[in-house]
Amino acid sequence: MFYRITFLLFLVSFFGFSQVGINTSNPDSSSMLDISATNKGLLIPRVSLNSITDQTTIASPALSLLVFNTGNAVAEGFYFWNGTQWETLKTELTDAWMLEGNTVLESSYALGTNNEMPLLFKTNGVQVANFDPSGEIGIGFGSNSGGVNAIAIGRNANAVSEQNIAIGLGSGANGSNTFALGTYAVASGDYGTAVGTNASANGKNASAFGHLANASGEESVSVGGGSRAEGLSAVALGPYAEATAVKSFSLGPNTKASAENSFALGIGAVADVPNTVIIGEVQVPGGIDVTPVNVGIGTKSPSARLDVNGDVKLGRKGNVIKGIAGFSRTLTSSTTIPANSTVIVPFTIPTTSQPSTTNATLNYTLASSVNDAISVSWVKFNGVGNLRIKFRNESGIPVDINGAKVNFTIVEF
């Protein structure tokens, strides 16, 4: 009976205190258990966890249960049960990315995920970047990189098919393997390229470069602000150049090639007839030529619609022509040809019409004002700067040929 009373008094005294102290007679009032030591520690149970969701090693673990893992399936360290899985205890953020940056000592360090989930970045709770394991990259508010290996950079940039790249505000790479660069640039045809603000490449294999450039024909090319290439294999090069027919080609500002296989070359040139090449043809409605255009070959200062400084060959079997020159000469002194007689008159060839050699043909025509009785027997070179002409008077009376005009053409070969 005595022992029973003594044990009862012990229990009453034990539970009468709010704290329990081990190796201390004054446990801290804020604790339930106060263990004091100067050269020893608290040894937490050591277990070998199979995974962070392991509920086999310790059956039905209680919430906040603390253990020290020694197994290899999970990194060694302290873990507590959070009700769903074992969560590690860390006293230092040695593996965390700090706000002020980290010092990376190994190439294996990385910022990202270790599973098939994408890496997302948000500001103010709104997603601004997405890195997907399939290779998709989206950067910018509202950007969408929905295709495999697609990249969308910029606010509302859209790359929805595989291998697409869209860069710029509102840009769209909608076809397969397309590239769009610039504000609201759109490449919707497969393998298309659109570069420039509001540039558009809608045709397959089409390319558009420049503000408002538009390449809508298959395999068409449009280069220059406001240029349009709408036909199959059409090419428009230059500001506001237009190639709107199959295999049409416009080269130069405001040129227009609107017929099949047509080629417009030069500022404002218009080629609207199939299978034609128009150079520098500037027209207004009605076909009125308003701007003369000179074309020079071998010269930077053409003085005629076509100015060729060099040899010319016409036809498959034609000879090479070095030059063609035309000029006129008028007799300015009294020259009388007796009846049924001839006279030889010398003429000087203008410097600008002189051939380099006398290996040339010399053609002539008498002006209509010359007396009908007068004819020319022959014309000969006298060096490269002069020529002689033999006049014949076929009448029975003398004729004065003063004022007679002769037109000459020299073709050098």
In whole numbers, what is the pLDDT of the chain averaged over residues? 86
CB 237 within 8 A of CB 220: no
Residue 367 lies in a domain: yes
Question: 77 in helix, strand or coil?
Answer: strand
CB 144 within 8 A of CB 130: no
Under the banding of pLDDT at 50, 70 and 90, the label for residue 225 is: very high
Percentage of residues in the chain having pLDDT higher than 70? 89
Tell me which of 67-81, 90-104, 192-206 is least confident.
90-104
Residue 8 lies in a domain: no
In a shared domain, residues 358 and 403: yes
The answer for 15, left when phi > 0, alpha when psi is -120 to 50, beta otherwise, is alpha
CB 195 within 8 A of CB 181: yes
In a shared domain, residues 129 and 232: yes
Range of the domain at 44: 20-92
In a shared domain, residues 133 and 231: yes
Q: Over range 118-143, report the average pLDDT.
A: 82
Number of domains composing the chain: 3
The CA distance from 352 to 278, in Å, is: 30
In a shared domain, residues 134 and 252: yes
Residue 312 lies in a domain: no
Amino acid at 396: G
Percentage of residues in the chain having pLDDT higher than 90? 49
In a shared domain, residues 285 and 140: yes
Residue 10 lies in a domain: no
Taking the CB of residue 28, how many other CB atoms lie within 10 A of it?
12
Residue 57 lies in a domain: yes
In a shared domain, residues 128 and 192: yes
In a shared domain, residues 397 and 340: yes
Residue 99 lies in a domain: no
* 351-362 tens-digit pLDDT: 989 998 988 888
Residues 6+ apart with CB under 8 A from 185: 166, 168, 171, 172, 194, 195, 196, 197, 198, 199, 200
The model carries a pTM of: 0.59
pLDDT of residue 52: 92
* 49-58 tens-digit pLDDT: 999 999 999 9
In a shared domain, residues 129 and 178: yes
- Is the pLDDT confidence value at 19 over 80? no
Residue 217 lies in a domain: yes
In a shared domain, residues 152 and 266: yes
Tell me which of 243 and 103 has the higher pLDDT: 243
* 65-85 tens-digit pLDDT: 999 999 999 888 999 999 999
Under the banding of pLDDT at 50, 70 and 90, the label for residue 18 is: low
In a shared domain, residues 153 and 51: no
Last residue of a domain, one of 291, 315, 344: 291
Under the banding of pLDDT at 50, 70 and 90, the label for residue 392 is: very high
